[in-house]
Structure 1
Amino acid sequence: MTLYMPLFRSCTTLRTLTQLHAHLFVTGLQKDPPASTKLVESYSQMGDLQTSRLVFETFPSPDSFMWGVLIKCYVWNHFFEESISLYHKMLYHQVQVNGFIYPNILRACSGFGDLGIGGKVHGRIIKCGFDTDAIVETSLLSMYGEMGCLYNARKIFDGMPMKDVVLWSSIISCCVENGEASEGLDLFHRMICQGAEPDSVTMLSVAEACGDLGILRLARLVHGQVVTRAIKSEGSLDNSLIVMYTKCGDLHSAEKIFRNVTQRHIASWTAMITCYNQTGCFQEAIDVFLEMQESRVEPNSVTMMVVICSCARLGLLREGKSVHCFVIRKALDADLDFVGPALIELYAEFGKLNYCEEVLRVIGERNIISWNMLISLYAQKGLLKEALVVFVQMQTRGLMPDSYGLASSLSACGSVSSIQLGYQIHGHVIKRGILDEFVQNSLIDMYSKCGLVNCGYKIFETIEQKSVITWNSMVCGFSQNGNSEEAIRLFDQMYMNGIEMNEVTFLSVIQACSHLGHLEKGKWVHHKLITGGLKKDLYVDTSLTDMYAKCGDLQAAQGVFNSISERSVVSWSAMIAGYGIHGQINAAISLFNQMVDSGIKPNEVTFMNILSACSHGGSVEEGKLYFSSMRDFGIKPNTEHFASVVDLLSRAGDLNGAYEIIRSMPFHVDASIWSALLNGCRIYRRMDMIKSIESELVDISTNDTGYYTLLSNIYGEGGDWDEFGKVRSMMKGLTKVPGWSTIELDKRVYRFGAGDTSHLQTNEIYRILDNFPTLALEQGCDVEYR
């Protein structure tokens, strides 16, 4: 076989390799294990993995080394799932596994993203006694680091007695890649103190850590280490230093290093263009690209990816298309593996979603990033069903979504309340052992939006290291699902434990106080918001306005509203609603007019609030006027607007007018609108109208027990007990949602429901209620029994 090794090295094309293969077959040397193993490897290097697998499968009894070479070939070609399948097949055939195979199979586990299989391989390594092999241990360290298990990576590192520069570089890289830049720099300091000499690979990770921290002083110290130790980089380290200085806000130093590079390769130009992009200097990025063209340096696919991103940020669709054509003409990225995601982002920016789908069709199954990006873009633009369709297509093609794609899909599930698909994605996350915080936060959010906040809380409790985003997700989940007391309890827990809070935290807990009517707690939160030194935030101020208004302190609501310098339509709407709640219809109308005069266009919510204010204030003519003026602002009335107008007219006794409004509705009339009319009929004793619309009431189908209760009571009061019985029979199987009220006494909120006996002073409360009519008459109040 030694005689034929130079011939293998001389095979520069698939054709010459095939000729050599035929010669080996004729001479019978294809049965020689080294020759067949070399054929397996050579075909793989030529890109013909299918023939490589065929050579392997036609060999009578492949040894451990040949299995290892085939697995390595699959890993090189990024067929990680197939590599793992081969490993399992090898174990099934009871082929002895040698240490040469484990580094490749560990790489396959991290590439496939399956921590569960990785843990099993680790266990087998220990069982077979390869856990003391330095190369295998380094591979284990890298696998855990790439999969975000920094604790396991550190445990392996700390247990190794001899640590060379490769091992130090690996653990530093693991820390930096997992967002622990400070820990990476601490390890670098330990490395220097223990006398290990860093190389360019080490300094690449150290420079990245400095950039992540954004501390310019540290960046200059690292640059000084590179210079004093005369570490040669061959361009890659210079590029990392350029990026490092850019992240630290010293673009001048980055430009200086770039200009001092004597021979600028593609990577140097690409690094500088990327840095301009990252600092928002998109035009400068385009200018450097044009300068690169003038220098006759041919760009690569990565360069073009960055330039396409610049075009997207500058809104240059035509130029972006030109770059796309340039890529095709120069055959820089025929399969769009690199520029595909950037092109999808470019075309999505201009709403060209059909172009996005065409790019994805060209990419096919090779680039998971593009699939993830399209899912995310669909979700961001509100095309949630389309996002989930792409996710399902991805699964049917056997693609494994990463944490980014999973989080985007979970977000879409929550927004459309697709709990069944959410369950399936959660099962997929558990099966693959994904412990990514990004995914876990998305799971909490998804369950909360689907109304299963307790499921979200179970996930929350399992997370050991909770970030402020995790806490916010749970507080917001409780608040949005009406579990306001739990939201406030979590906020108090954050405060007591000194956990960092941001604007989102305060926004959620203020909304919880608003739902409970907990004024004193709301004031306390407002105080902590001010003393915490958080900058003014429009969303928080608007939420405070709403909270004070709903909790009865209209003066405080006005104070917060007046302090908002740049008011949004949401801020104006919140204050209009506040005036409406307090019955100050004139103030609400005045503020609405002031809003329009200031150039702010009212939206659907604004009109809903002003119509509600008119309804509660009995301002019929004003309500009609605002309802008719909606179309002047380009707003189409929805069901809630119609229900509010019907309620307004019904309360005022204009039942015929309310009925005409219902008849004019361009869409299906639901139970809420009929309830508004029925309530007016009941108040004004218009049984004749109920009889005339009886046929329309029969067709109503709803789960709202309030509608059926109201209708049956009307029939009962009119003495029509047959109809009363029919309506009551419709309520069978429906559960009435219990009503409840809250009252705040001595900075504490008490909650009461019908028939509630949980309060310590229940007997005294019911005694007062029993005597209430007598007490009211003694005070000169009119008491009406219904």
Structure 2
Amino acid sequence: MTLYMPLFRACSTSRALTQLHAHLIITGLHKDPLASTKLIESYAQMGPLESSKLVFDTFPKPDSFMWGVLIKCYVWNGFFEEAISLYHHMLIKVTQITSFVFPSILRACSGICDLGIGQKVHARIIKCGFESDPVLETSLLNMYGEKACLRDARKLFDEMSIRDVVSWSSVILSYVQNGQARQGLELFREMVMEVLEIDSVTMLSVAEACAELGFQRLAKSVHGYLVRRQIESDDESLDSSLIAMYGKCGDLCSAEELFDNVVYQGTSSWTAMITCYNQNRCHQEALDIFVEMQDSKAEPNAVTMMGVLCSCARLGWLKEGKSVHGFVIRKSVDPENNLLGPALIDLYANCGNLRDCLKIFDTTRDKQVVSWNMLISGYTQEGMSEEALMLLVQMQLQGIVPDSFTLASVLSACGDICFYQLGSQIHGYVIKTGSLNEFVQTSLIDMYSKCGYVDLAYMIFEDAQQRSVVTWNSMMCGFSQNCNFVEAVSLFDQMFSNFLEMDEVTFLSVIQACSNLGYLEKGKWVHHKLITHGVGRDIYIDTALIDLYAKSGDLRMAWRVFDIMLERSVVSWSVMIGAYGMHGRIDAAILLFNKMVESGIHPTDVTFMNILSACSHAGYVDEGKSYFNSMLKDFGIEPTSEHFACLVDLLSRAGDLSGAYRIINSMPWPVDASIWGSLLNGCRIHRRMDMIKSIQQNLVNMEIEDTGYHTLLSNIFAEGGDWDEFKVVRSKMKSTSLRKVLGYSMIEINKRVHRFGANDKSHSRKEICS
């Protein structure tokens, strides 16, 4: 039989193997166990397993080794359940079992979600007396590690008589892959003290552990250890892992330096560098290095293209993304979109192209949960929440079980349309299925806050076992959305006093809360902490600071923040224009508006609201009319009811009540109460009692519930001495349960804000104001 072994190695096609099989049958050598075993293995490597199974079934009495080879072939091809079924049949047929069978069957146990079978196999190993076999011990370590049974894995490892580098590497990898990187590194430290010859496989796990922890200093120490010990891998896997490690630690310089010094820059290294740039939000650089990759001999794979598509998606570059999509098709990187389907859906969704999203989704043959998630997320981001929820229904009808990402997306959709009933049902499903992780908890907080149930959101926040900066930010935003600004500031104080991680969103949220409360001193303190914490300034934070200082009366500081901004959006300009208008600096507001237009910034409807409001309060009638007329003519912005209200307010304050009335009658849509209120206030200022009756009738027909307009109307009658009409208005307010909202003032003393209402005797320091 040994004469035929080279012939097996020479069979490069299934046809040649079939011919050799026929020859073995003719010569009778097919009855030789070694020949049949080799046939089983060769058929499994070349094609379907039916031929291997046929050879096995036609052999008279297969021994344990032949059973083991067939089981190994099934495991190679990913048929884990079939392999386990063969193992159970073998136990019935064969009395003497060799240790060769067990590594394959343990691998099959790792591939299915049934730890119980793996434990039974472990018991069988002990029963057969193979528990001290180093190969089987390592296989058992791998199985327990892959099934996240770290306690069993560690117990087995501690009881091993001989612990070689393979077993150490296996147990370290088990800890790292199950989210316990610190324990994995501690085991590595013990391994070093054992003075073992550490190989590149071990260092792959160590590099991954450093990456998970994100400790830059530790990452450099590990890299230094590799250089000192001259540990290298036969391929580029170790270099790629180190690049990925530096990327997750945020050390782009070290990653770039290592990449530039790699001897062989293969696909893995280029892909790791692209991923590294994406993780650090350097998406432009990721695309640049992909272009460089095209000039090298390295061929991109599906993982490479996933990173490139991610870069295009994050940048919102639809044109470039379509070019990359065309490249993928030409190169046949992933013909059936099984791997790149989700990335392509994400690209088109981020660029607002939902039609192409659906095309990609429909052409994906194997629609896994990731593809559904990307499509649902795309619809949610585009504000099509109802369609996103319908996709969830379709997904469940297809038998796809939603994961935490799915649940988070649909909860966001429920929050966007205030669909509290469905959101609470999904909450129940989350509890029932045990899917309540930090990601889903944050989405629940966001959903309940948007639906107005901030108390429920806070209950979830309080019960959360782990709170990341995202969880804290979500709760702060929830409080602010529901006008609980004091609670939002209190949460920030808790984060600060407990030395918790804070990012740009944290500071943005607390600055906005201080702005709404008028907490100037607190806002200044937060501004100081923003600088000392080294949080990167961005356009949103600077704009929020301008708004804070402007609303709190510190116009000089608002201008300083605006003046030193490296980049200004139209929102920044609009807020600063509004700040000048708020403080009566109309000339400065107009000058700034003109400067904005000259710099190429296109004003928005909010910008015009601010400049019109400024003109209204300063009595700049001609300028206000000019800006209103230029909205549509010069900038293509259709005036809304709010802009008409500003114009009516401008004319009414200036005494042109007839002009204001003509504007109201010329409006292309029904006039709301705010516009009639502006005209009503103008009549009060200029004592035009002759127009009051008609305005009153229009307000009565609207049946508005806002007490402000009724209060203004009653005050006008009181000032004019018409007490009968005064009583009528007040009587109507009483009959419809409308109560006048009491005015109040706030003053900040020693970083504490005090509120005083009209005729309020409840404050502890009321005697100071008396």
Q: Please report the TM-score for the alignment, with normalisation by the length of structure 1.
A: 0.72
Of 661, 664, 667, the residue aligned with 2:663 is 661
The one-letter code of the counterpart of 2:329 is C
Distance 1:183 1:709, change over 3 A: farther
Q: Which residue of 1 aligns with 2:205?
A: 205
How far the C-alpha of 1:479 sits from its partner, in A, is 3.1
Aligned pairs (5 A) from 1:495-506: 495-506=496-507
Q: Which residue of 2 aligns with 1:774?
A: none
How far the C-alpha of 1:551 sits from its partner, in A, is 1.8
Structure 1: distance between partners of 2:208 and 2:355 = 38
Q: Which residue of 1 aligns with 2:649?
A: 647
The one-letter code of the counterpart of 2:661 is Y
1:463 aligns with 2:460: no
Q: Is the 8 A contact 1:741 1:752 kept in 2?
A: yes
Structure 2: distance between partners of 1:158 and 1:756 = 70
How far the C-alpha of 1:692 sits from its partner, in A, is 4.9
1:485 aligns with 2:489: no
Greater Cα offset, 220-229 or 315-324? 220-229
Q: Which residue of 2 aligns with 1:115?
A: none
Aligned pairs (5 A) from 1:627-706: 627-631=628-632, 632-680=634-682, 689=691, 692=694, 697=699, 700=702, 704-706=706-708
Structure 2: distance between partners of 1:16 and 1:467 = 49
User: Could you report, residue by residue, the CA deviation over 1:99-129 in whole angstroms, capped at 9, with x for unpaired residues?
Assistant: 24899xxxxxxxxxxxxxxxxxxxxxxxxxx
Structure 2: distance between partners of 1:562 and 1:218 = 40
Q: Which residue of 2 aligns with 1:374?
A: 375
Q: Which residue of 2 aligns with 1:319?
A: 323
Q: Is the 8 A contact 1:650 1:679 kept in 2?
A: yes
Distance 1:484 1:271, change over 3 A: closer
Distance 1:691 1:52, change over 3 A: farther
The one-letter code of the counterpart of 1:548 is Y
Q: 3-state SS of the aligned residue for 2:590?
A: helix
Q: Which residue of 2 aligns with 1:781?
A: none
How far the C-alpha of 1:359 sits from its partner, in A, is 1.0
Q: Is the 8 A contact 1:207 1:219 kept in 2?
A: no
How far the C-alpha of 1:637 sits from its partner, in A, is 1.9
Aligned pairs (5 A) from 1:552-567: 552-567=553-568
1:17 aligns with 2:50: yes
Q: Which residue of 1 aligns with 2:159?
A: 162
Aligned residues: 699
User: Could you report, residue by residue, the CA deviation over 1:464-518 in whole angstroms, capped at 9, with x for unpaired residues?
Assistant: 4433333333333323432222222222333333334444333322222222222
Q: Which residue of 2 aligns with 1:107?
A: none
Q: 3-state SS of the aligned residue for 2:553?
A: coil
Gaps of 5+ in 2: 1-30, 98-103, 124-136
The one-letter code of the counterpart of 1:208 is E
Aligned pairs (5 A) from 1:553-632: 553-631=554-632, 632=634
How far the C-alpha of 1:175 sits from its partner, in A, is 5.9
Q: 3-state SS of the aligned residue for 1:335?
A: coil
Distance 1:428 1:363, change over 3 A: farther
The one-letter code of the counterpart of 1:205 is S
Q: 3-state SS of the aligned residue for 2:499?
A: coil
Q: Which residue of 2 aligns with 1:759?
A: 763
Distance 1:284 1:467, change over 3 A: closer
Q: Is the 8 A contact 1:219 1:244 kept in 2?
A: no
Structure 1: distance between partners of 2:38 and 2:566 = 78
Q: Is the 8 A contact 1:335 1:363 kept in 2?
A: yes
Distance 1:755 1:41, change over 3 A: farther
Structure 1: distance between partners of 2:742 and 2:366 = 52
Distance 1:745 1:48, change over 3 A: closer
Q: Is the 8 A contact 2:488 2:513 kept in 1?
A: yes
Structure 2: distance between partners of 1:253 and 1:619 = 61
User: Could you report, residue by residue, the CA deviation over 1:59-94 in whole angstroms, capped at 9, with x for unpaired residues?
Assistant: xx99xx9xxx99997985xxx7xx67xx9xxxxxxx
The one-letter code of the counterpart of 2:624 is G
Gaps of 5+ in 1: 88-95, 104-132, 146-152, 769-786
Distance 1:619 1:180, change over 3 A: farther
Structure 2: distance between partners of 1:484 and 1:102 = 59
Q: 3-state SS of the aligned residue for 1:511?
A: helix
Q: Is the 8 A contact 2:514 2:520 kept in 1?
A: yes
Q: Which residue of 2 aligns with 1:784?
A: none
Aligned pairs (5 A) from 1:122-201: 139=143, 141-144=145-148, 157=154, 161-162=158-159, 168-169=168-169, 172-173=172-173, 176=176, 184-195=184-195, 198-201=198-201
Aligned pairs (5 A) from 1:510-529: 510-529=511-530
Distance 1:282 1:715, change over 3 A: same
Distance 1:621 1:290, change over 3 A: same
Q: Is the 8 A contact 1:14 1:46 kept in 2?
A: no
Structure 2: distance between partners of 1:699 and 1:306 = 60
Q: Is the 8 A contact 1:317 1:350 kept in 2?
A: no
Q: Which residue of 1 aligns with 2:550?
A: 549
How far the C-alpha of 1:156 sits from its partner, in A, is 7.4
How far the C-alpha of 1:739 sits from its partner, in A, is 5.8
Q: Is the 8 A contact 2:252 2:276 kept in 1?
A: no
Whose relative contact order is higher, 1 or 2, with alpha carbons under 8 Å and at least 6 apart? 1
Q: 3-state SS of the aligned residue for 1:561?
A: helix
The one-letter code of the counterpart of 2:202 is T
The one-letter code of the counterpart of 1:191 is M
Structure 2: distance between partners of 1:48 and 1:138 = 19
Structure 1: distance between partners of 2:767 and 2:498 = 39
How far the C-alpha of 1:205 sits from its partner, in A, is 1.9
Q: Which residue of 2 aligns with 1:99?
A: 119
The one-letter code of the counterpart of 1:672 is S
How far the C-alpha of 1:189 sits from its partner, in A, is 1.8
Greater Cα offset, 683-692 or 631-640? 683-692
How far the C-alpha of 1:605 sits from its partner, in A, is 1.7
Distance 1:157 1:580, change over 3 A: farther
Aligned pairs (5 A) from 1:44-123: 76=111, 99-100=119-120
Distance 1:672 1:496, change over 3 A: same
Distance 1:38 1:654, change over 3 A: farther
Structure 2: distance between partners of 1:761 and 1:540 = 36
User: Could you report, residue by residue, the CA deviation over 1:631-657 in whole angstroms, capped at 9, with x for unpaired residues?
Assistant: 222222223222222333334444443
How far the C-alpha of 1:183 sits from its partner, in A, is 5.8
Structure 2: distance between partners of 1:606 and 1:584 = 16
The one-letter code of the counterpart of 1:323 is F
User: Could you report, residue by residue, the CA deviation over 1:191-214 in whole angstroms, capped at 9, with x for unpaired residues?
Assistant: 322456544442212223445647
Q: Is the 8 A contact 2:145 2:171 kept in 1?
A: yes
Q: Which residue of 2 aligns with 1:772?
A: none
Q: Is the 8 A contact 1:14 1:43 kept in 2?
A: no
Q: 3-state SS of the aligned residue for 2:263?
A: helix
The one-letter code of the counterpart of 1:673 is I
Distance 1:270 1:492, change over 3 A: closer
- Sequence identity percentage: 48
How far the C-alpha of 1:354 sits from its partner, in A, is 1.6
Greater Cα offset, 162-171 or 408-417? 162-171
The one-letter code of the counterpart of 1:627 is F
Distance 1:320 1:41, change over 3 A: same
Structure 2: distance between partners of 1:760 and 1:407 = 46
Distance 1:480 1:171, change over 3 A: farther
Q: 3-state SS of the aligned residue for 1:99?
A: helix
1:361 aligns with 2:362: yes
User: Could you report, residue by residue, the CA deviation over 1:760-782 in whole angstroms, capped at 9, with x for unpaired residues?
Assistant: 245886xx4xxxxxxxxxxxxxx
Structure 2: distance between partners of 1:268 and 1:718 = 86
The one-letter code of the counterpart of 1:664 is S
The one-letter code of the counterpart of 2:50 is L
Q: Which residue of 2 aligns with 1:286?
A: 291
Q: Is the 8 A contact 1:542 1:571 kept in 2?
A: yes
Q: Which residue of 2 aligns with 1:431?
A: 432
Q: Which residue of 2 aligns with 1:451?
A: 452
Aligned pairs (5 A) from 1:385-400: 385-400=386-401
